[in-house]
Structure formats: C-alpha cells, structure tokens
Amino acid sequence: MLEKILGLLYYMYCITVERFESMSLYKTKFEACLKKVQKPARYIGNEFNSVHKEWENDMVSFAFCFPDVYEVGMSHLGMKILYHMMNDRDDTVCERVFAPWVDMEEELRKNDIPLLSLESYVPLKDFDIVGFTLQYEMSFSNVVNMLDLAKIPLRSKDRGDGDPFICAGGPCAYNGEPLADVIDFFILGEGEEVNNEIIDVYKKWKKSGKDRLAYLEEISKIEGIYVPGFYDVEYNQDLTIKSVKPNRECAPARIKKRIIKNLDQSYVLDKMIVPFMDIVHDRITLEIFRGCIRGCRFCQAGYLYRPVREHSTDKLLETAQKMIDSTGYEEMSLSSLSTSDFTCLHELIDRLLEITVDKRINLSLPSLRVDNFSMELMEKVQTVKKSGLTFAPEAGTQRLRDVINKNVLESDLLRTSRIAFEGGYNRIKLYFMIGLPTETEEDVKGIADLAQKVVDVFYTIPKEIRKGRQLTVTVSTSSFVPKPFTPFQWEPQDRIETLVQKQKLLKDTIKTKSISYNWHQSHVSFLEAVFAKGDRRLGDVLISAQRKGCKFDGWDEHFDYEKWLEAFSDSGIDPEFYAYRKIEHSEVLPWDHIDIGVKKEYLMKEHDRAYEGVTTPSCREKCMGCGAASFGGGVCFE
Amino acid sequence: MSKVRLKFSKLGMGKYISHLDLLRTFTRAIHRAGLPVKYSQGFNPHQLITFSLPLALGVTSETEFVDIDFEDGTDKLLIVKKLNECLPPDIKILEASEPVIKAKDIVSARYTVALDLKNSITEDMLDAFFAQEEIPAVKKTKRGEKEINLREYIGSYKLKGSTESSAEFEVILSAGGETNIKPDILVSKLCEFLGDGVCENAEIHRTEIFYTKGSNIATFC
C-alpha cells in the first residue's frame, strides 16, 4: 500500500515537473506564432484582473474552455463568474482557453504546439479538469476541434490515467447527448456550488490513488452531475429511443439541475477581466436576475432557468460600485432575460445613475419589453446615452403571438414606438421568428404589416417633435429552432426550402425603403435543430465533421454545409430524422432523464394550449404549477 | 499647466497591445486609479490622452510617452504610483514631467533588433545591406499603399554582437509626422536580403526617440 502511495506521489511529482518544463518549452514557440497571426492580443493574457497564479503541486487545475474565439468567449458572464470563483480558492488554479482563430490553429498545427491555456501556456492535456461551456449548438464542432488540438483523445472511452477529465456545462449541456461520447461528465444548472463540489471530490480522489472510474462514480452522486457513460440507451426499430437506463448503482435514474436558491448569498462577481482588445460585450455586466416569468413557448432559456430569482437592489448597488472601481469601464449593462420585469427597476436605475453619471458611465438596458416600457424609463436611460432601440415581437400577427405565448399586443408596440419617436429615437430594430408552429402566409406578411405600422406612427408625429426626417426600421428574422425543454420540443422545424420561401415572401411584402430586412441562413438553423434535439448517435457525426475540417460553424465564412452533409452520410445518419419529424407526446426523448424542474406534463399542457391559441399568464400573475417550485425558492415563493 | 507627460515602458507580451487597445487601456486605468482627468468638450466627451509617437504592433519599448490632461495641481508622483497600480504588468510608468518638447518635432527613433538566425552573419553582410542606394519597399498609409525607397528612412546602424545563431544591431529610423517608418519593414527587407529562411525570429525594441530643434538633434523626453 505504502509503495503504491509513494509511487503515486512520484508520478504526480513527475507530472508537475513535466508541466513546468513544457510551459517554458511551448512559450517561446507559441510567441513566435503570434507574429504571424491577426489580432495577437487574443492570445496574450495578462489583462487587468486576470489571475496568473504560481502553480503548486497540490493545486487542482481547471481549464475553463470557451469553444469560440476570444472576443466572443470573453463576453460571456458565466465564464467570468466561475473563473474568479474558482481562482478565489487557494487550492485551485483556473485558466482560460479559447478556440484559436483559424490562422492561429494553422500555426499551432504547423509548429506542433498543443492547445495551451491563456495564463500560463500550460497544455490543456496537463490540466486536471477541462471544462467547456456549451452556449450554442453550433459550437460543438469547436469542442471536438479543441480537444484534437490539445491532443486529448476525443472519446471518453479512449482516455486514460494521464488524461484530464472533460466536463461541460451551460444551456446546451441540458441535452448534451450529441457530445455524450466525448464528455466525461456534464454539469447541469448553475455552477456556483457544484463546481466547488467537483473540485473537493477531485482532491480526495487524487489522494486516494483510485482509478479514473472511481472519480466519475463519486461525482455522479452529486446532484446536477450527469455522467453519460453511466447510462445505456436502447432504441426501437423505428430509430426512436426505447429507454435510457443507468448501468450502475451510483447513477440516479433522473439527474436534476442545480440552482442557486438565494443569489445574494451565493458567490457574487464584483470584478471582471478588462481585455485589451475590443470584445463583443466590452462593458460591465450587472446580472440583475436569473430566469424569466414569461414562459414564451419557443424560449428554452425561459424554462431552463426557472424559477426567477432576483438580486436585491442593495446588493446590486454594492456590486455595481465594486465593478466600477475594479474595471474602469465606461459602460454598464443590466443583464437578464427581460430587464423590464425586474421588480424594483425604477429604484435600481435611479440609484445606479447616482453612482454612474458623475463618472461618465453609460447605463444600457437591453432586453426591454414593449408592454411595460415607459417614457419615464426611457428618459432616465437617455440622461446618459441614446442608443438604438430593439424590441422582439417575435411574430407578425396576434394569433401567432398568442400561440407562442409572447404576450405582446400590437397596440403595445405602437404605443412604445410613439414614445420612443417622440423622445427623439429614429432607429428601431424589430426581431421576429419565421417557421413558428401553425404559421401561415398571413403571419409572415403580418411582420411586414406590423413594421409598416411602426413606420406610419413615425410620420404622424409632427416634424418639430421627432428627430430627423428619416426613420430606419430594421426587421430581422431568425428561423425557429424547436428546442428541448420547451412546449415546442415535439414540433418539426420548417424545411429549408419553406423557410427560404417565407423569407422571400416577407422581402417581397415589404414595400417601403424605411424598412430594411435581414435574415439568418436556414442551413445553420437546420443543423442547430438537429443538434439541439439530437441523441448520442450524433457523436460519430461530430467527430467525422471535425476530421473534415468543420469548425466555427456559427461564423458564416467558415460554415460548410456540404461537409456536414458528408459527415452525416458517412455515419449513416439522416439529419432530417431529428429536425423534421413531428414527435408524439408518448415518445421517449433523448433528454427525458434530465430534470430541469419544469415537468414534462406541464410542457405537454402548454403545447396543447399553443394549438388552442390560449395564452398563459406570467409567474407573477398566476402560478400555473410548472414544477419549478420544487427548488424551494425564487418567484414561486414571493 | 495641467498637462502631464508620462514616460512608460511596454515590454513582454505588451508588444501585442495595439495602439488603439493601448489608448483604451490607459483610459480605463485612469478610471480605476480615480485620477482627476480632464475630458474634451462636445457631443462625445473623452479623456484628453495623446501618445507622442505610436509604437508598431509587435515592438517593445523602454521609452514611450503619453500626454494626459489632469485637473490643475494633480501630484505627479501620485499619478505615477496610482497608475502603476492600475495598469497591466507589461506597461509601467517610469516618470512624469511637464511636457516641454513638442511631439511634432520628433524626427527619428533608435531600435535594437535581435535576430535569431539559422546561420551566422558577418558585419560585411549587414554593411552590404545598408550600403544599397535603393531599397524598394511598400509602406502602408491611411490612404493606401505607397512605394518608397527604404534607404531614405534609415539613419546610422551598428552591429552590437553576433553569434552562430543570433545577431543584434542598432538602427536609427525616421519617425513622426510624414517620414515615419515601421521598423518591421526594415527587418523584413533585411531578412529578404540575407536569404530565404536565414532569419528565424526577430525581436524589435525601441530605446530612444529623437527630436529636432533648429539644426540640433536631441533625445525626446
């Protein structure tokens, strides 16, 4: 036994020494690559508030990977929270890893440099735990590509004792089945508590000298941890799923997500890395609440993050002040799924303005709804900066808005537009979806009609009051993607040809130059649907696509639909099975063993109500008993 | 006089912070430091920050200058101390002074170039490169590309040392205003001259900036 422990200690020592040696080894080679790539600031680290720790032998090392380029990943709040939270622990070092842009990937491969962490240039392979955040399905190929760049075996079953554990969290982890072969374990829900727990267990496991499996068995007992390898999936003849069953005792039949019951009492982020280069969201992000009271039937976030939990205004003020002092940012944005639903929004804004105006910090309020937008609110934000306004009616007719439970009336939008125009705005963006369930030609044309009515409002306002002679209304449509854990999870997606027809119809219906129309590529939306609702048979497709060079699929210039089709065909899988099939309520879904709190029966009921055109009140109006109350907190107990 | 000139160094990976990113970095560091900076008037007020001579991306320097307008009477030592606490590690304020010399009088700058080489080079080879009367090169300007004779932008040079696999030399290049040239153009032309694949890596470092006053040339500070 003693021998075994000594052996293990020696082994650990060797790994550590190797780690430091490889650090200096790669740093010089890596630096040489920087001269040959665009935007080298993506790869240099050392930003203000970044954490550069001395690596010590007994520390747990966690590589936080964002499967997209630096400026996208650095705009993500969740990463910032968990990065600082883990680094606040003396026994843990957390470093960032982003997908290198294609020019950098080429240099890395050419010079045989594995993927390294941003802070210490440590190969990803040498970390204890490698964690990916899955924010959108179209980043899955980058997850595989990053593992490949890191020279880590792509499949969980091929990894052994010297390899790190690969985990993944974020919204797409709730149905992470397409990555089930790749990821060792998924973290479901909010990470503030559970990430600490997996680190604690890791320390104990490392001391114990037990094998890899023992760690996975131990953490599978933690609520919110899903080890896909501990579940067997059986299929029916028609390719649908027959059953998903745990194959060992430690694994629960259903895995329940984790939430933070009281946000104020949990880890609250009060500092942020300030990047050198311009990133997508280059500002303070002040998270005001999680979840959404609304229940739009297409919106996955609206169900995944239930129940709604708010920060207190006092805590937010305290946090905002610390953020201002620690970052020096000139802009602060309130973050949530629906800003105007924050209970004390007016008080919050008044008090925030007291600390921001003198310091010339702009306050921005994204995600405003048209049904509770007031002149007062707008004027307050205006005292700092007048940026463009964006609203999301989502559908063109009242009938369809009722189907999707977007409780917004045409009169709300027109009233809000009037307020905005009278307040001096002359640019407005409207977001819609096409391909929603039950959609007809009338609904598509309705988008143009609605936009036209907004234009008409502008021109009825006397010239002396409105600003500028010209109004710009930008209409953007995305294509509806049915998502797991929503009432529309059983819905088929419109075929690409149909979506293109609808886009054309809308384009032809728009008559005035005041309206400009943007739309999304339908091929991307199709693959998004496939992977959103996919099962673990798609693992082969992902790996095959990566081999063919698929990466950065969220970027138009890199998305290669033909390669994807080849990958499907090589794996003998028909993608249409996942995207275009209407699913019966009785069918076993690939994600049925994941428990988000909201019950499947509730989603079925909502699905039925959609077809009846019946709307559902918000959580604050009336509790409809979705099941999220089982978490024992938030709006359910207000 | 409220304008303060800060001398700073930009070392290590800081060489990859572009000019625009550097401006943002200073703006935010001043915010964090809570220093009383002055803002421009007008529709979109911004801090009054002017760099004396922008540094090319990928080049380190021990002698950069930035002029910042602070409220009257702001203590210079305090500025240095507080800014250093609030700047990232690769940028360090070295001293603060009242700006006397005008940035528009800058004429040239001295660089040290350290080359990693596949095989050794001699002083003669360096001489041969600099002895050329015509070194055609392309200079990128705001208006597009411009063909130039690089030789006209080169002042004195000196080989400081060489080994089997490295060489280090100093060179003075035109800088500021109309006749500015980025040192990496010189390095790439030199490497071209030395032959395919001879240069494996080049580190460029700015050590001094010069200005002219009448017929005298002196160190900018």
Q: Considering the domain delimited by A2-256, tell me its CATH architecture.
A: 3-Layer(aba) Sandwich (3.40)
Contacts of A272 in chain B (CB under 8 A): none
**CATH T-level assignment (fold) for domain A332-595:** TIM Barrel (3.20.20)
- Asked whether the beta carbons of residue B21 and residue A34 sit closer than 8 angstroms, the reply is no
How confident is the model over A188-211, as a mean pLDDT? 96
Closest CA to B113 of B104, B121, B105: B121
Task: Say yes or no: B120 and B199 in one domain.
Answer: yes
Query: Which range scores top for mean pLDDT: A321-325, A408-412, A459-463?
Result: A321-325
Task: Say yes or no: B16 and B48 in one domain.
Answer: yes
pTM of the model: 0.93
Task: Say yes or no: B195 and B145 in one domain.
Answer: yes
Q: Which of A31, A44, A276 sits opposite B25 (nearest CB)?
A: A276
- Asked whether the beta carbons of residue B24 and residue A359 sit closer than 8 angstroms, the reply is no
Task: Say yes or no: B117 and B202 in one domain.
Answer: yes
Q: Given B81, B100, B119, which residue is the final one in a domain?
A: B100
Q: Report ipTM for this prediction.
A: 0.91
- The CATH number for B44's domain is 3.30.70.580
pLDDT in tens, A416-445: 899 888 888 888 999 999 999 999 999 999
pLDDT at residue B43, as a whole number: 72
Q: Which of A34, A278, A329 sits opposite B28 (nearest CB)?
A: A329
Q: Given B100, B130, B155, which residue is the final one in a domain?
A: B100
Residue of B nearest to A329 (CA): B28
Distance from CA of A62 to the nearest CA of B (A): 23
Instruction: Give the Cα-Cα-Cα angle A265, A283, A262 (nearest 5 degrees).
Output: 15
Tokens 């405003």 belong to residue: A368
Q: How many domains does chain B have?
A: 2
Q: What is the average pLDDT value for chain A, to the nearest integer?
A: 93
Confidence of residue A187 (pLDDT cuts 50, 70, 90): very high
Task: Say yes or no: B130 and B201 in one domain.
Answer: yes
Q: Which of A44, A324, A328 sits opposite B13 (nearest CB)?
A: A44
What residues in chain B have per-residue pLDDT under 70? 1
pLDDT in tens, A204-219: 999 999 999 999 999 9
From the centroid of its chain, how far is CA B3? 21
Contacts of A359 in chain B (CB under 8 A): 31
> What distance in Å separates the CA atoms of residue A244 and residue A241, rounded to the nearest whole number?
8
Task: Say yes or no: B112 and B87 in one domain.
Answer: no
B197 touches chain A (CB under 8 A): no
H-state helical runs in A395-437: 398-403, 410-422
- Tokens (6 digits) for A341: 């639903």
Contacts of A324 in chain B (CB under 8 A): 31
Closest CA to A522 of A450, A599, A435: A435
Question: For residue A3, is pLDDT > 70?
Answer: no
Domains of chain A, residue spans: 2-256, 332-595
Task: Say yes or no: B111 and B207 in one domain.
Answer: yes
Backbone angles phi, psi at A111, to 5 degrees: -95, 10
Chain B (8-67) residues lying within 8 Å, Cβ to Cβ, of chain A: 12-14, 16-18, 20-22, 24-25, 27-34, 39, 45, 57-58
- The CATH number for B185's domain is 3.30.70.3190
Structural domain span for residue B7: 3-100
pLDDT at residue A421, as a whole number: 87
Burial of B12: CB neighbours in 10 Å, binned 0-12, 13-18, 19+:
middle
Task: Say yes or no: B108 and B200 in one domain.
Answer: yes
Q: Which of A34, A327, A360 sits opposite B32 (nearest CB)?
A: A327
Task: Say yes or no: B62 and B95 in one domain.
Answer: yes
Task: Say yes or no: B33 and B108 in one domain.
Answer: no
pLDDT at residue A384, as a whole number: 46
- Asked whether the beta carbons of residue B32 and residue A277 sit closer than 8 angstroms, the reply is no
Backbone angles phi, psi at A36, to 5 degrees: -105, 0
Q: Which of B16, B29, B201 sits opposite A40 (nearest CB)?
A: B16
- Asked whether the beta carbons of residue B32 and residue A46 sit closer than 8 angstroms, the reply is no
pLDDT in tens, A367-410: 777 776 677 777 776 554 555 788 899 999 999 999 999 988 99
CB of B49 within 8 A of CB of B68?
Answer: yes
pLDDT at residue A21, as a whole number: 54
B88 touches chain A (CB under 8 A): yes
pLDDT in tens, B75-103: 999 999 999 999 999 999 999 999 999 99
> What distance in Å separates the CA atoms of residue A547 and residue A568, rounded to the nearest whole number?
13
pLDDT in tens, A572-588: 999 999 999 999 999 99
- Asked whether the beta carbons of residue A34 and residue B32 sit closer than 8 angstroms, the reply is no
pLDDT in tens, A261-311: 999 999 999 999 999 999 999 999 999 999 999 999 999 999 999 999 999
pLDDT at residue A331, as a whole number: 92
Task: Say yes or no: B32 and B110 in one domain.
Answer: no
pLDDT in tens, A327-345: 999 999 999 999 889 999 9
pLDDT at residue A382, as a whole number: 58
3-state helix, strand, coil in chain A (%, to 5): 45, 15, 40
From the centroid of its chain, how far is CA A619? 23
DSSP assignment of A12-32 equals: HHHHHHHHHHHHHHHHHHHHH
Contacts of A278 in chain B (CB under 8 A): 20-21, 24
CB of A379 within 8 A of CB of A393?
Answer: no
Q: Given B80, B100, B120, which residue is the final one in a domain?
A: B100
Question: For residue A598, is pLDDT > 70?
Answer: yes
Q: What is the C-alpha radius of gyration for chain B, rounded to an integer number of angstroms? A: 19
CB of B97 within 8 A of CB of B76?
Answer: yes
For strands B3-10 and A472-479, give the pairing: unpaired
- Asked whether the beta carbons of residue B16 and residue A274 sit closer than 8 angstroms, the reply is no
Backbone angles phi, psi at B198, to 5 degrees: -70, -45
DSSP assignment of A526-538 equals: HHHHHHHT--GGG
Contacts of A360 in chain B (CB under 8 A): 39, 45
Task: Say yes or no: B87 and B127 in one domain.
Answer: no
